[in-house]
Amino acid sequence: MMLRVVKEMVSKVIVINRNRILLLKRAEKYITGKAPWTWDLPGGHREAGESMRETGRREVLEETGLEVGDFSFVGKESNKGKLTYFYKVKPSDGRIKLSSEHVEYRWVDKGELTSYREGLGEMYYRMILRAL
């Protein structure tokens, strides 16, 4: 009998507007030993029947209130039992309305990104640079 290992599948979205990246500050209760980073990208776990792009679109709307346009694939990476797909998008016009998962947001220029490197973690940081 073969065991099939199913990884958690996650979609993360790099929202870029006027060469600035949208970063979300995670609420304290979501900062854990398994996920110690303070800054995040919109995104989350795939629900049954969703494509990874659909997951990203839903999660951006749920976490920021923003509608987004066409997704461009940036890359995927496996880490800590999760397979994470990264996409970049441009937001439509609209005001950001954060969900309870985040307490703050910032639009960050590429030149400021290094000061968020530790708070984002290496994988997210590398994928953001790749998207730019």
Taking the domains of the chain in order of start, what are their residue ranges?
8-131
- Could you tell me the mean pLDDT of each successive run of 10 residues in the chain, 132 residues long? 59 93 93 85 90 92 91 89 90 86 95 94 94 92
Instruction: Give the pTM.
Output: 0.88
CB 16 within 8 A of CB 131: yes
72-79 and 20-26 beta bridge pairing: unpaired
Supply the CATH classification number for the domain 8-131. 3.90.79.10
CB 58 within 8 A of CB 67: no
Question: Which residues, 6+ apart, have CB-to-CB distance to 98 below 8 Å?
Answer: 24, 63, 64, 65, 104, 105
Note the pLDDT of residue 35. Answer: 77
Note the pLDDT of residue 7. Answer: 58
